[in-house]
Chains A and B, each alone.
Chain A
Amino acid sequence: MNQLIIDGVTKQFGALKVLQSCDLTVERGSVVTLLGPSGCGKTTLLRSIAGFVTPDAGRIRVKGQDISRLPPNRRDVGYVFQNYALFPHLTCRDNIAYGLVVRRVPKAEIARRVSQALDLIALAAFADRYPKQLSGGQQQRVAIARALVLEPQVLLLDEPFNALDAQLRLSMQVELRKLIDRVGITSIFVTHDQQEAMALSDRVAIMRGGRIEQIGSPLEIYDRPRSCFVADFIGRANLMPTQVRAGRTEGPQAIAAALPDGPATLVARPENIDLTPGSGPGWPGKVTFLTALGPVIEYEVDCGFSVPVRAALPRHAGVETFEPGALVTARIRDEAAAVVLPGEPNHA
């Protein structure tokens, strides 16, 4: 069952079209990530769902009920702010209790639910501290608990890990996912870190210029990007210009493509490119640069395209290594894993 349906939401600030008929459907209990470059409207979409922004057009429905016209305090939607927005004059416990107090929940029940929430985020020992006496990660957990304790229909999180250092970020990502699974709450999560998106979510929605460009499971998006933008934005991709003729690409490797004749783009991930020394079937080129990343070595090979072809070769015995200047041939290892998109390459 669909918990949240966003239907044609449009918002314009002055002359700037920030959301252009945005559609998004989120299933009950699943985690969707909004991923996109800065300024593409992620925060604005979240704020529209929470009611802080009034869309010019479109509908937002939660469990079938249209909430587009409700004021923010009457929507059953939790929001975790980027800088947490904890109340500085309230203790951790009172911050978490805030929504329950406002809802006039009986005192005993508040106490019970708040202490449950404190246990959930493992901060019971810090209950009587004020926000400024907590670390960034702890504050963030309080912000999440403050939203979760109300058991909202939908939880919105706007770049909740931005203020955390890399180490903490990683452990918090795992913690958050476990927490969400335990409570089973429908969540939308904003980030512009694609690894975070892949790690945390059931589905990833790629946003661009106020629209949702593609939505799917992390691997679907990675394996089957529907545009050069998505291919380039998620992971790294080689976008090679080609022509489709009679359902196949022209060039050294003819790859099946269900596209009309015309210019096209061959998309292949660096790990799907193999290099062999000298000439052979494939794209001839010259190694221009290499980066040893540990498990793999990444080569940049000039094959005569406007951008170098990237190849990531594993580093085990038997895999040849190349020096800059070496003449090589690049090939797509697994043709089925390559994607052919209509139109010329279009680098984001």
Chain B
Amino acid sequence: MSGPRQMISLGDRLARGMLIALTVMSIVLLVAPSLIVIAISFEPRGYIAFPPSGFSLRWYWALLERQQLLDSILVSLRISVMVMVVCLVLGIPAAFAGTRGRFPAKTAFNAFLLAPQMMPGMVIGIASLFFGAYISFRASDLMLVLSLSVFCLPFVVRIVMARLAGLDPLLDEASANLGAGKFETFFRVTLPQLAPAAFAGAAFTFIEAFDNVTVSLFTSDVRARPLPVELYYLVQFESSPLIAAISSLEIGLSLVVMLVIARAVGLERFGR
């Protein structure tokens, strides 16, 4: 059992201190602004004020009359779903190869897979734009989907790899022994066990693709802007609580997705 109080190691104390600091920081920097934004969105007047002078859903209704905004939400939803599908279809086999495969330069392959995560989104956005210009490929929905997929792929790959590394390789042998070929084993044994991880990776990818500005700014179609880009332009000309209303909806969406993940896999299983 743990000793008396003065026996607590320095490391433990530091850890506790860090934990408190981190909690305070995330409340101050993450939760508080979100709550303020949500509060502001209920402002009945035409300008931003905190605390709000009253409670009204006026700006939420106003949202429904802004055709351009509604269109951009649809664009974002469509793009995010496509990015999610691309990342799953490419990410799961890539993670599989990176974990189970035996081939030369596997380490380099894995580093390459995860590299986009180390790169600022803006770099990926600009690079895509320039490269696209070079091969005469204009900023478009397809371009946006591709560039966002590059950016998001590591989410899926990392989570799925972590799960794969934890799977018992004997299960594959058991499956083969019972008569299943390689593909059948993958679909019947490996994939079902990857499902929670793939699901979580997909959800993260969806959220990221839905509110990514850095990449989208450079690669989205000018005539069909996704929501984050639309908002980016909007805030430059308009500072009504409308922006707060949209942001609140986005916060709500993220929360819902997180809750769904938490129910499906347990949040604590991430990051590993």
- Report how far A73 CA is from B182 CA in the complex, Å: 9
Residue numbers of A with Cβ under 8 A of B are: 50-52, 71-74, 77-79, 81, 83, 85-89, 98-99, 102-103, 146-147, 150
Nearest-neighbor residue (CB-CB) of B189 within chain A: A87
- B contacts with A: majority SS: helix
Known interface pairs A81-B173, A85-B171, A87-B174; 12 further A-B residue pairs with C-beta atoms within 8 A, sorted by A's residue number: A50-B177, A72-B176, A72-B177, A73-B180, A73-B181, A81-B170, A86-B174, A89-B192, A98-B178, A102-B184, A103-B179, A150-B178
Nearest-neighbor residue (CB-CB) of B177 within chain A: A79
Nearest-neighbor residue (CB-CB) of A72 within chain B: B176
On chain B, the residues within 8 Å of A77 by CB distance are 177
Say yes or no: A73 contacts B171, CB within 8 Å.
no
A96 to chain B, nearest CB (A): 10
Partner among A71, A83, A147 whose Cβ is within 8 Å of the Cβ of B176: A71
Nearest-neighbor residue (CB-CB) of A52 within chain B: B173
A233 to chain B, nearest CB (A): 28
Say yes or no: B173 contacts A146, CB within 8 Å.
no
Q: How many A-B residue pairs have CB under 8 A?
A: 58
A222 to chain B, nearest CB (A): 33
- Report how far A80 CA is from B115 CA in the complex, Å: 42
Nearest-neighbor residue (CB-CB) of B180 within chain A: A102
On chain A, the residues within 8 Å of B170 by CB distance are 81, 83, 85
Say yes or no: B179 contacts A85, CB within 8 Å.
no
Say yes or no: A73 contacts B193, CB within 8 Å.
no
Partner among B173, B180, B188, B192 whose Cβ is within 8 Å of the Cβ of A85: B173
- Report how far A71 CA is from B193 CA in the complex, Å: 24
A227 to chain B, nearest CB (A): 34
Instruction: Tell whether B175 is near chain A: CB-to-CB under 8 Å.
Output: yes
- Report how far A89 CA is from B179 CA in the complex, Å: 18
- Report how far A29 CA is from B58 CA in the complex, Å: 82
Instruction: Tell whether B168 is near chain A: CB-to-CB under 8 Å.
Output: yes
- Report how far A51 CA is from B188 CA in the complex, Å: 21
Say yes or no: A72 contacts B184, CB within 8 Å.
no
- Report how far A99 CA is from B180 CA in the complex, Å: 7
Say yes or no: B178 contacts A88, CB within 8 Å.
no
Say yes or no: B171 contacts A78, CB within 8 Å.
no
Say yes or no: A73 contacts B174, CB within 8 Å.
no
